[in-house]
Amino acid sequence: MAAKQTPARAAASKSPAPRSPRKRRRERKFPALTFEEVLTIPNAIQRYAAGQKVRRLTLFEKLSKDPDSVESRQLVTASGQYGLTKGSYQAEYLELTAEGNEATGDSVPPSRKLQARFELAVKRHAPFLFLYEQLRGNRMPAKEVLLDSLSGAGLEDDEKAECIDTFTLNLKFLGLLRTVGGSERIIPIEQALEDASSTPVPLLIEHGDRIAQVETVSGGPPRGETARPAEDFSKTCFYISPIGEPNSEQRRHADFMMEYIIQPAVKEFGLKVVRADKIGKPGMIGKQVIEHILYARLVIADLSFHNPNVFYELCLRHATRLPTVQVKREVDTVPFDLNQYRTIPIETKDPYTLVPKIQTYTAEVATQVRRALQDAETGDNPISLYYPSAKLSWDGK
C-alpha cells in the first residue's frame, strides 16, 4: 500500500525545478566601433546643436538615421564608451563630455585636440594602452605577434583579433601610425603633438538624406531553377572586381588585392575568397556569378577603375541587403550615388608606400567585414537608405 503523501511533500513535488544560473554577459574591454566611426555622434552635436545638449531623436533626424536601429544604438553606446558623450541609446538627451568637446570643438587648438583624442581613443582602454606602451617607437609587428602579446591583456581569445584591428585603425586615424624608413611605426604621442600645429586633425561628419518606406519586393528563383543552389555559400566571400585581360593592370590589381589584402582580412572569419574567373566549376559563368552575389555570406566589391560590371553586380548585391564591403584604389573617385557610404581607399600607385601599409589595409578591411557580419541586414546602401523595407529575396520552393 502506497504511503499517504503529506501536504508539504505534495507542494514540493509541484514546485518547479530550480533554474540554471543565467550566463553572465561578458563585459567588453574596448568599444565595438573605431574612434573615427563614433565621431559621427559628437560631430553632429557640434554641427547641429553648437556643442550643446540635444534631444536624441532630433539628432538622429538631422542625421537621417533611424534612432532605434542597431547601427544607431552601437554608435551611441560606443561614443559613451570612448568618453565622448553622455547618454545611452534610450536617453532623451545626448550631450558632449568635457573631453568630447575638446576632441571635436572647432576652436580647440590642434595639439589639445589630438591630446584629447589620444586620451579617449587609446589611453582610456586597457588593451589599447597595453599595446601602445609595448609598441611605441617601434615597427608595427605582424598580427600573429600582436595576438601573442595580448595574452597578458586579459582578453578572451575571440576578442583579440578585433582588438588589434580597432587599435590599429585608431592609431592610423590619430596619425600615430606612420611609414618611416619603409615600414610602419608607432609614433609616440609626444612626437605627434609636436607636429600637430602644422598638421590638421581630420574630422568625420556624416551626411544623410531622407528615409522613405516601400513594400518588400520578392521574386522567384532564377529562370530554369526551382531552389537555392546546393553549394554551401555560408563560408564564401565573393570578391567582385575588375578582372581584365591576363597581364593587364586590372588583372594585376585584382590578383594583388585578393592575395595580399582580401584573403588575409577574411581568414579569421573562416571565409574562402572566390572571384568570378576562379569559380572553377562547369556551367554558365553569368549564372554562377549571380548565384554568388545572391547567396555568398559576404561580398567585397572593388570599385577601382570604375568597371561597369562591378557596379552592376554591386547594385544587385545591395538589393539583397546582405553583408557588403567596398574598397577602391585611392586615385579613383567614388560615384555620387555611393560617395556617402564607407569605401576603404587603398594607395596602390607607389609600391614603396603600399607594402609597409598592407597590414593596416588588411585591418581596415577586417574591421568593416566584422561590422558587416555582425549586423547582416542593416548595412547602409542607397536602397536601404531610401527604401528601408525593400529587399530582394527568393522563394526557393
Buried b (16+ CB within 10 A) or exposed e, 359-378: bbbbbbbbbbbbbbeeeeeb
Q: Domain with 324 in it: what CATH number?
A: 3.40.50.2300
> Which of 22-26, 177-181, 206-210 holds the top average pLDDT?
177-181
Query: Do 94 and 172 fall within a single domain?
Result: yes
DSSP characters over 91-148: -SEEEE-HHHHHHH-TTS-HHHHHHHHHIIIIITSHHHHHHHHHHTTSB---HHHHHH
What pLDDT score does 262 carry?
96
- For residue 63, the 8-state DSSP code is T
Is there a domain that residue 381 lies in?
A: yes
Report which secondary-structure segment, H or E, holds 170: helix 157-174
Query: Do 176 and 251 fall within a single domain?
Result: no
Amino acid occupying residue 258: M
For residue 360 the three cell numbers come to 593596416
Of 91, 81, 100, 97, the residue nearest 28 (C-alpha): 81
Is there a domain that residue 315 lies in?
A: yes
Of 95, 72, 69, 84, the residue nearest 36 (C-alpha): 84
Helix (H, G, I), strand (E, B) or coil at 225: coil
Longest dimension (CA), the chain: 97
Yes or no: say if 123 and 129 are a contact pair by the CB < 8 Å rule. Answer: yes
Report which secondary-structure segment, H or E, holds 382: helix 382-386
Domain count, the chain: 2
Query: Do 250 and 161 fall within a single domain?
Result: no
Is there a domain that residue 374 lies in?
A: yes
Is there a domain that residue 176 lies in?
A: yes
Of 171, 137, 139, 166, the residue nearest 150 (C-alpha): 166
Is there a domain that residue 25 lies in?
A: no
Of 158, 170, 150, the residue nearest 363 (C-alpha): 170
What pLDDT score does 213 carry?
33
Query: Do 247 and 192 fall within a single domain?
Result: no
Query: Do 53 and 183 fall within a single domain?
Result: yes
Angstrom distance (rounded) from CA 170 to CA 33: 10
- pLDDT tens, position by position, 92-117: 999 999 999 999 998 899 999 999 99
Query: Do 244 and 367 fall within a single domain?
Result: yes
For residue 12 the three cell numbers come to 514540493
Helix (H, G, I), strand (E, B) or coil at 220: coil
What's the whole-number mean pLDDT along residues 52-66?
94
Yes or no: say if 76 and 85 are a contact pair by the CB < 8 Å rule. Answer: yes
pLDDT of residue 388 exceeding 60: yes
Query: Do 247 and 185 fall within a single domain?
Result: no
Query: Do 148 and 261 fall within a single domain?
Result: no
Is there a domain that residue 30 lies in?
A: no
- pLDDT tens, position by position, 275-310: 998 885 554 557 889 999 999 999 999 999 999 999
Domain-ending residue, one of 142, 177, 196: 196
What whole-number percentage of the chain has pLDDT above 70? 81
Angstrom distance (rounded) from CA 153 to CA 29: 10
Yes or no: say if 92 and 73 are a contact pair by the CB < 8 Å rule. Answer: no
Query: Do 74 and 183 fall within a single domain?
Result: yes
Query: Do 163 and 259 fall within a single domain?
Result: no
Domain-ending residue, one of 196, 221, 244: 196
Yes or no: say if 393 and 228 are a contact pair by the CB < 8 Å rule. Answer: no
What pLDDT score does 141 carry?
92
pLDDT of residue 52 exceeding 80: yes
**Which range marks the domain in which residue 247 is found?**
236-386
Is there a domain that residue 223 lies in?
A: no
E strand residue ranges, 14-92 = 54-55, 85-86
Query: Do 322 and 381 fall within a single domain?
Result: yes
What's the whole-number mean pLDDT along residues 325-345?
90
Domain-ending residue, one of 196, 222, 256: 196
Query: Do 48 and 192 fall within a single domain?
Result: yes
Sort 25 into a burial class: Cβ within 10 Å, 0-12 / 13-18 / 19+: exposed
Is there a domain that residue 22 lies in?
A: no
Yes or no: say if 372 and 298 are a contact pair by the CB < 8 Å rule. Answer: yes
Confidence of residue 27 (pLDDT cuts 50, 70, 90): confident
Yes or no: say if 262 and 365 are a contact pair by the CB < 8 Å rule. Answer: yes
